[in-house]
Structure 1
Amino acid sequence: MGHGIARGALAVLADWLAERVAFLARESSNPASELVCWGNDLPAGLPDRVGPRPEASTTVPRQQLTDHAPVELQEKLFARVAALPSVYSRPSAISVPGARGFMLDAPQPGPTEAFLVPQAREFAHLHPESDGSLHVALPVRWAADAIERGWAVAHPLAGIRLTPGMVLVHGPRDEAELDVVTAIVTTSHAWAAGLSPRTSG
């Protein structure tokens, strides 16, 4: 109450900060010179996204607020991801109404961290057309690369209650961006399917 911070809230904040510091300490041991490989479609690595980052909400659920993808590109993206091996779509088990989840129908999926909702095998979902962004689960190094290059922002609960590599990926504005976003989601799919993404020096 008042202008102070309650002891309970302070304890939760301290735990959150401790988890973040521990996470950064673990990641700092990874060589910064390694190139994150996004597959054959992006042999030179992830390009920088052109222009300023779209605005995104700071609350949960996190959504893209500006610079939305055209609906026709959203549908092309949906079709590409839905056509990946062993993938089927149904309403997301975690997102807002109207979000379409991408689930893996495979007997031996990847690690728990490769899924937004492990019980549903949901590794990504596409938000409704008024938004057009996606949430995907990525290995932490790949999530960091996508954020650094301007293609994504971290989820507020990533590494706390959700997988550490959960990011919001901005919807594609043109065909070239469609290819890049497809490559990002394809990497998420590969990880969920048990294939390890690669780095190279």
Structure 2
Amino acid sequence: MGHPLALGALVGLAGHIARHGFPGRETARWPALSEEPTLREELPDRAGPRPRVSVTITQQQLTDNAPAELQEKLFARLSALVGVDTGPSAISVPGARGFMLTPATTTGPAQAFLVPRAREFAHLHPGQDGSLHVALPVGLAADVIRHGWAVAHPLAGIRLTPGMVLVHGPRDEHELDVVTAIVSASHAWATGKSTPATA
């Protein structure tokens, strides 16, 4: 990691992996993106060009950021997921809000967590950023990258879980539904309600 990757190269590599390189890609499904009936089984494409994202640590969304009110709606939705506690992230920048499972609901594998010892499966970055880091099964991580909702974390599969992605913050109510669904899939994996092949 001595030489930072160009963003274009990272996006291109992610696209290639999404098409060819992740085991189980062909079985990745989104049947339970949310309880909301408006969400489709197939993950939709995110509209417009991809936001600029830093390629350094810490990874941040630099452009096209989520409005503050949508960030708060997203935080409220994710906080209401079953067995979720919130608090300062155990791994992110100051001000990032972590989503951690209670011990009783933590039945997923270690790879379902950004910080296994803290049971943190996702966190929301501070207001000027508004993106999230989320742990997903690699097939679903490939899906969200391919459809433009996320980029891979530079250390995913090296020092962090292979399916760690930065999910872009929502810009409108439709995107709020989709981002909620993506994080809900992470929650389902962390609670043992889904597997990489069926998430």
Instruction: Give the structure 2 partner of residue 36 of structure 1.
Output: 29
Which of 64, 67, 73 is 1:76 aligned to? 73
Amino acid at match of 2:83: S
Instruction: Give the structure 2 partner of residue 120 of structure 1.
Output: 118
Q: What is the CA–CA distance in structure 1 between the aligned matches of 2:191 and 2:25, rounded to whole Å?
A: 26
Distance 1:71 1:35, change over 3 A: same
Q: Give the conservation status (yes or no) of the 8 Å contact 1:93–1:120.
A: yes
- What is the CA RMSD across the aligned residues, in angstroms? 2.2
Q: What is the CA–CA distance in structure 1 between the aligned matches of 2:115 and 2:26, rounded to whole Å?
A: 32
Structure 2's unaligned 5+ residue stretches are: 4-12
Q: What is the CA–CA distance in structure 2 between the aligned matches of 1:189 and 1:29, rounded to whole Å?
A: 21
Instruction: State whether structure 2 residue 100 is matched by structure 1 residue 103.
Output: yes
Amino acid at match of 2:32: G
* Aligned-residue offset at 1:44: 2.6
Query: What TM-score, normalized to structure 2?
Result: 0.83
Q: Give the conservation status (yes or no) of the 8 Å contact 2:96–2:123.
A: yes
Write the deviation string for residues 102-144 of structure 1: whole angstroms up to 9, x where unpaired: 0000324210000000000000000000000000000000000
Query: What TM-score, normalized to structure 1?
Result: 0.82
Instruction: State whether structure 2 residue 91 is matched by structure 1 residue 94.
Output: yes
Instruction: State whether structure 2 residue 54 is matched by structure 1 residue 57.
Output: yes
- How high is the sequence identity, in percent, across the aligned residues? 65
Instruction: State whether structure 2 residue 41 is matched by structure 1 residue 48.
Output: no
Q: Secondary structure at the match of 1:167?
A: strand
Instruction: State whether structure 2 residue 132 is matched by structure 1 residue 139.
Output: no
Q: Secondary structure at the match of 2:103?
A: coil
* Aligned-residue offset at 1:43: 3.5
Q: Give the conservation status (yes or no) of the 8 Å contact 2:96–2:125.
A: yes
Write the deviation string for residues 125-166 of structure 1: whole angstroms up to 9, x where unpaired: 000000000000000000000000000000000000000000
Q: Secondary structure at the match of 1:65?
A: coil
Which of 166, 174, 177 is 1:176 aligned to? 174
Q: Give the conservation status (yes or no) of the 8 Å contact 1:133–1:170.
A: yes
Q: For the pair shown, which has the larger CA radius of gyration, 1 or 2?
A: 1
